[in-house]
Amino acid sequence: MGKLRLAIGIVFIAPMFCLLGVLAMIAGGILWGLKLRNASCKVVHFILGWLVLWIYFFLGVRVRVEGKENIPRWGERVCYVPNHASMLDIPVLFGSGMWCGIVAKKELFKIPVLHGLLRTLHCVPIDRSSLREGFKAILEGTKKIESGYPMGIFPEGTRSKTGEMGEMKAGAFKMAIKAKAKIVPVAMANTRFAFEGAENFRIVHIYVKILPPIDTEKLSADELKDVHSVVENRIREALKTLPGPYGRN
């Protein structure tokens, strides 16, 4: 039943993904080439916002967001740090108002259309098998944050196969620390039940809790060393307060 639900969703999502993805790339690219960078971002986000709504509809999800007041103003140095359980995490992140470039595995950049879309969103590929390439990705992401474009990273390194949150790696926070950015912890619950772990055709409720930012520029050296643990603990505590996939506590 879950596989059928997933297959139906993909059949309806794929054409719109290609259509709106290409439109966003063309419109955003033209405006960026004309050095209208803010306009480029706004247009890309507007177009892809409709794609996100389309994904929500055909996957049968309802997303509830708490803490939108904790989203920093556009142009500030920001790094969003969510937990990671599903491929749906990125659309949910965007649909919750946290538009950003994502540090994503390099394999995603080999997929047609998605490759161009990731570049349009200023995402950064990372090769997890190479420390050198990983460091280069962190430096690229740091530069984007310093330029005023928010970035996002999943410090667990990979999606949780069980839905349970994994350990956050300290190295994933180097980008935010180097850029002296505000780290915004984000707790997302039930995304896996709406995609990879779908079990039936019921509406799935996804809950997003945006926590208060942590300004790395104001932290001491000792506090920076432990910031990954602080963020992990805050997200874990937030997840405990969020309901189950069908609205149950």
Q: How many domains does the chain have?
A: 1
Residue 34 belongs to some domain of the structure: no
| Nearest-angstrom CA–CA distance, 139 and 103 | 11
Beta bridge partners of 215: 182
64-116 confidence digits (pLDDT tens):
999 999 999 999 999 999 999 898 999 999 999 999 999 988 888 988 889 99
Residue 127 belongs to some domain of the structure: yes
Residue 44 belongs to some domain of the structure: no
Low-confidence residues of the chain: pLDDT under 70? 1-2, 163, 246-249
Residue 28 belongs to some domain of the structure: no
- How high is the pLDDT of residue 90? 95
Q: Give the contacts of 54 (CB within 8 A, at least 6 positions apart).
A: 12, 13, 16, 20
Residue 51 belongs to some domain of the structure: no
Residue for token pair 């790339």: 25
Residue 50 belongs to some domain of the structure: no
User: Tokens representing 116?
Assistant: 């161009």
Residue 172 belongs to some domain of the structure: yes
212 by DSSP, 3-state: which?
coil
Handedness of CA 137, 142, 143, 149 (dihedral sign): positive
- How high is the pLDDT of residue 249? 44
- How high is the pLDDT of residue 240? 93
| Nearest-angstrom CA–CA distance, 104 and 128 | 10
For residue 206, what are the domain limits?
A: 62-240
- How high is the pLDDT of residue 161? 73
Task: Answer whether 160's CB lies under 8 Å from 89's CB.
Answer: no
DSSP state of 132: H
* DSSP labels, 75-123: TS-EEEEE----TTHHHHHHHTT---EEEEEGGGGGSTTHHHHHHHTT-
Residue for token pair 């394999």: 107
Residue 247 belongs to some domain of the structure: no
